[in-house]
Structure 1
């Protein structure tokens, strides 16, 4: 019996030591949400020296930290509303990928006690209080030699607005804020001082992925990204039969798109444009106006774009499409079509490309019909889920989507295919051929002549 008591005591002591040595994100449950939680904030520091075991920063003695390095960049990650109390599913990947991408002070801002409640308004009210607490920590960091220029705050949903409140307290001098689908409810009609705004940091980038429900629709940043138009995300449930994913999938997609940018599998290229419709119509696919930085990329490296040239009073909206799963990249091409039909034709063109290994990918059909007029060039945006480098065959299908009436022909004077993701690649052409409606035509393309523009 004595041995058993000693063994139990030993296990308890070891667990207590581990909890003391490695503080973790507060893990609550639905019971806590129902009863409500009082606001408590803890800052968990991770660095490359302690990537798996956090150090809890002391609120009024940050300089006592063993791992905090004032000469390194400071990155804060702030979560949002937690109606079930559990830790965010993306938190582990965020920590690991940020530390692998750059040698930084990574601080997870844990305000789960305060965010865990069924009363959303209570969580909203706590946002300003969290910002006040963060200011006490940051003030000490600044005294210790940290620079506002090297501070970067990543805020998710409500966390994006907390980031904005912190930025306001330093008159927009913080280096960067990233808002991942900033919360819309309770903030949509608020003035800039009561939400995230482009004036809250030197560079503010925002990903809007659920603008028709939980997210914020209007631009908030220096540059605002709208994947798939900013509303319904591919792969997310479209009906209530999708369960809890129906409510959170679109909203969380902004986080997973950001994480994808840290994995290095592909760059998600975006296109500055006035609207998603103009982007889909091929009106905004040339980024030469933004040289030498070209089109902005999404996510962690978005600030490499020409942020200095963008006035804060004039936000940039950027649109793009994604696939339905990680790493979410689409490989975009412009299909240029010049026809010589005497009569105007309206319709759709579906395109397939095949490489020399026999791999074939099919583009999504454009959501809007193109109008083909004699000798006028039409631009069609084509997106593929896979990147094929050396194209051996191209297949085109023309359709008017009409079920009755005569079948039409589309007489092509010139077809040209240009990669947007890799504009240095050889452009491919084909001349003088006819597409019969609903009949696929496959051919071997040839390099475009230099005179083809």
Structure 2
């Protein structure tokens, strides 16, 4: 069938053959494109000996890697005067290539004209015996140091080296950084592995002195990830534990085990695409952030709030001046890419004589008719007379113009009387866009378990 088609349309055959060459062969060297090692469960059962492939991509060969392994740096594409980013994967219990590896490479090359080196240590990471993979991390780090030494001899700068490590790969990056006394430019740790590293000394894991700037995203601190801070700035989306959209029970299959852990990678890639502004707030704890204790970055001006992911290094100079130069930042996300969450605070001043403890459910409707309920399950608030209670709300879309707000007060008591919450003032303020007008409503009553809707008005100047 294909033969007859090419006979009838010879141009089709020429195009097909040209595409084949473009995808599979480097015309300048005649060599085949090196692919990321693809293994399977039988390989993991047997175990694999460590073998390293260093796959170089640039804008000139973004679809066909050049294998730097064993070439003594006789590269066609490597330009050591440009930034060099190493991407290092983690433990691979089934041997399959990481599903995100091509996307992160393409996103980075779209962002900057740089060198991307995918560190393929799948042979060595693929094993059912996790401690074996852990022991190989030191060996991989030593191999990477040998390559970087050659690069430095050929004119590269430690300042231009940036390592992005996932899980075990984050600790590999840390070991490389230690070998250069923390002088490499930057390390990003994406949910650094916890098992076999938790409780270890800084020399045995990633640490904030391993590079000039170290940023970390923690998304699975109660299972596969590392709980405590490791970098100059540590981001804890959704508190660092259960991520929205990930299965909460084993009925979710393999995703139950890996979804939270992998979310760090997808959050980082979302930061490259910049489809929304993921705002993080420096704070001592997630509880403090949820209670409204750390929802302003006024103290850090002219710096904005910390940026998650690729642009986190905007905070580098600020953190260098701190003692110690470390910060934790918290925020909430949505359940799917690009994980945007638009944060608001609903501040309520009650005038009940007796204190009330309860929950507030929040809905917002915009002028286009979109009705969205807050996706953050607020903790119980205590409403004291003439005191402000802060309730954090998060929405999967932003609101250019708000036409109606709906509040529902509940004590969640099954038995007993129904209560009223007398509100002296309600104020809605955006955390994601602090320049926006704050909206208020004055003097109304919330009947328990009844929706109360109203049109907000601009807050009095004295209230803002």
Deviation at 1:176, TM superposition (A): 0.6
1:178 aligns with 2:224: no
Structure 2 residue corresponding to 1:105, chosen from 108, 115, 121: 115
- Alpha-carbon distance in 2 for matches of 1:272, 1:102: 28
Report what 2:379 is aligned to.
368
Assess if the C-alpha contact under 8 Å between 2:360 and 2:378 holds in 1.
no
| Aligned residue number for residue 222 of structure 1 | 232
- Structure 2 residue 332 is matched with structure 1 residue 321: yes
Q: RMSD in angstroms over aligned alpha carbons? A: 1.8
Cα pair 1:280 1:366 within 8 Å, conserved: no
Aligned pair partner of 2:399 in 388, 409, 428: 388
Deviation at 1:17, TM superposition (A): 5.5
From 320, 343, 354, the counterpart of 1:332: 343
Which residue matches 1:194? 204
**Residue of structure 1 equivalent to 2:219:** 209
CA distance in 1, matches of 2:45, 2:462: 69
Match of 1:437 among 448, 460, 463: 448
TM-score, normalised relative to structure 1: 0.94
Instruction: Indicate if the aligned counterparts of 2:24 and 2:64 stay in contact, CA closer than 8 A.
Output: no
2-structure distance, mates of 1:201, 1:312: 17
2: CA distance, partners of 1:238 / 1:366: 16
Match of 2:285 among 275, 279, 282: 275
Cα offset, 1:91, TM superposition: 0.5
Q: Matched residue of 1:20: which SS?
A: coil
Query: Is 1:122 aligned with 2:132?
Result: yes
Cα deviation digits, residues 334-378 of structure 1 (max 9, x gap)? 111111111111111111111111011111354421111111111
How far apart are the structure 2 equivalents of 1:449 and 1:145? 62
Give the distance between the partners of 2:72 and 2:222, measured in 1 at CA: 43
Quote the offset at 1:16 in angstroms: 8.7
1:74 aligns with 2:84: yes
Does the CA contact (< 8 Å) of 1:177 and 1:205 recur in 2? yes
Partner of 1:357: 368
**What SS does the aligned partner of 1:265 have?**
coil
Consecutive unaligned residues of structure 1, counting only runs of 5 or more, are 1-9
- 1:347–1:400 Cα contact (<8 Å) kept: yes
Measure how far apart 1:314 and its partner are: 4.4
Mapped contact 1:222–1:312 kept (Cα < 8 A): no
Instruction: Return 5+ residue gaps in structure 2 as ranges.
Output: 1-16
**1:365, 1:285 → 2: CA distance?**
15
Equivalent position of 1:289 in the other structure: 299
- Aligned position for 1:25: 36
Which stretches of structure 1, 4 residues or longer, exceed 4 Å deviation after superposition? 13-19
| Aligned equivalents of 2:42, 2:61: Cα separation in 1 | 33
User: Residues of 1 paired with 2:376 and 2:338: CA distance?
Assistant: 22
Alpha carbons of 1:28 and 1:279: their partners in 2 closer, same or farther (altered >3 Å)?
same
1:259 aligns with 2:259: no
| Distance in 1, Cα, partners of 2:379 & 2:371 | 24
**Partner Cα separation in structure 2 for residue 203 and residue 144 of structure 1:** 24
- Which of residues 402, 408, 413 is equivalent to 2:413? 402
SS in 2 for 1:172: coil
Question: How far is the alpha carbon of 1:306 from its aligned partner?
Answer: 4.8
Q: Is the 8 A contact 2:105 2:116 kept in 1?
A: yes
**Aligned pair count?**
441
What secondary structure, in the 3-state scheme, does the structure 2 residue paired with 1:301 have?
helix
> Mean Cα displacement is larger for which, 173-182 or 21-30?
21-30
Structure-2 change in CA distance of 1:16 and 1:268 (3 Å):
closer
The alpha-carbon deviation at position 41 of structure 1 amounts to 0.8
Q: 2:65 aligns with which of 51, 54, 78?
A: 54
Among 410, 422, 444, the alignment partner of 2:433 is: 422
Please state whether the residue corresponding to 1:41 is helix, strand or coil. Answer: strand
Tell me the distance in 1 between the aligned counterparts of 2:69 and 2:191.
30
Tell me the SS of whatever aligns to 1:159.
helix
Do 2:232 and 2:319's aligned partners in 1 also have CA atoms closer than 8 Å?
A: no
* Structure-2 change in CA distance of 1:73 and 1:365 (3 Å): closer
The residue that corresponds to 1:344 in the other structure is 355
Cα distance 1:365–1:46, how it changes in 2: closer, same or farther (>3 A)? closer
Corresponding position of 1:234: 244
Q: TM-score, normalised by structure 2?
A: 0.92
Deviations 1:114-147 (A, max 9, x none): 1111111111111000000001110111122111
- Does the alignment pair 1:302 with 2:307? no
Shift of 1:21: 2.5
Counterpart of 1:4? none
Partners of 2:46 and 2:420 in 1: CA distance? 68
